[in-house]
Chain A
Amino acid sequence: MIPLSHIIIFSLIIFTIGMVGALSRRNVFIVLMSIELMLNAVNIALIGVSSAMGNLIGQVLAIFIITVAAGEAAVGLAIVVALYRNRLTVNVDAINLLKW
Chain B
Amino acid sequence: MNVTVPMPNLSLVVPEILMVILACGLLLVDLFIPKDRKRVVGYIALAGVVVVGVVTAAFWGKMAQPATTFSGTFVLDRFALFFKEVFLFTTGITILISLKYLEIEKVSLGEYYALMLFCTLGMMIMVSGADLIVIYLGIETMALSVYVLAGFMKFDHKCTEAALKYFLLGVFISGILLYGITLIYAATGSTQLAQVAAVIKEKGLAKNPLLVLAMFMLAAGLGLEIAMAPFHFWAPDVYEGAPTPITAFISVAPKAAAFAALVRIFYHGIQLLEPQWQILLWIICAVTMTIGNVTALMQQNVKRMLAYSSVAHAGYILLGVLAANQVGVQGIAFYFFAYAFMNMGAFGLVIYLRRENIVGDDIDDFKGLAQTHPLLAVIMVVFLLSLAGIPPTAGFVGKFLLFAAAIKAGFYWLVALAALNSVVALFYYFRIAKAMYMQSPEPLPQLSPGRGLVLALVVVGVFTLFFGIYPQPLMSLAKDTAHTFMMFLS
Contact = CB atoms under 8 A, between A and B. Distances in A.
Are chains A and B touching in the complex at the 8 Å CB cutoff?
yes
Given A57-B133, A82-B163, A39 B190 contact: no
Contacts of B203: none
B179 A15 contact: yes
Contact of B164 (A64, A72, A79): A79
Interface stretch (B153-161, B425-433, B452-460): B153-161
A98 B158 contact: yes
B144 interface: yes
A20 B480 CA distance: 47
Interface residues of A, number: 42
Contacts of A9: none
Contact of B157 (A38, A61, A87): A87
B321 to A, nearest CB: 26
A32 B181 CA distance: 21
B325 interface: no
Nearest to A84: B160
A79 B178 contact: no
Interface SS majority for chain A = helix
Interface SS majority for chain B = helix
Interface centre among A42, A55, A79 (most CB of B within 10 A): A79
A86 B144 contact: no
B161 A83 contact: yes
B186 A49 contact: yes
A45 B185 CA distance: 10
B140 interface: yes
B133 to A, nearest CB: 5
Interface string B138-150: 0010001001100
Interface in A43-81: 45-46, 49, 53, 55, 57-58, 60-61, 64-65, 68, 71-72, 75-76, 78-80
Given A22-B172, A76-B171, A95 B182 contact: no
Interface residues of B, number: 39
Nearest to A39: B175
B148 A75 contact: yes
A97 to B, nearest CB: 5
Given A39-B178, A60-B133, A98 B237 contact: yes
B210 to A, nearest CB: 10
Interface of A: 8, 15, 18-19, 22, 28, 31-32, 35, 38-39, 42, 45-46, 49, 53, 55, 57-58, 60-61, 64-65, 68, 71-72, 75-76, 78-80, 82-83, 85-87, 92, 95-99
Given A31-B168, A38-B172, A60-B133, 19 more contacts: A8-B186, A22-B172, A42-B178, A57-B189, A57-B190, A57-B191, A61-B133, A64-B136, A65-B178, A71-B144, A72-B140, A76-B171, A79-B148, A79-B163, A85-B155, A86-B155, A92-B164, A97-B241, A98-B158
22 contacts: A35-B168, A35-B172, A35-B175, A46-B182, A53-B189, A55-B189, A55-B190, A64-B136, A72-B144, A72-B174, A75-B144, A79-B148, A79-B167, A80-B164, A86-B156, A86-B160, A87-B161, A96-B161, A97-B158, A98-B158, A98-B238, A99-B237
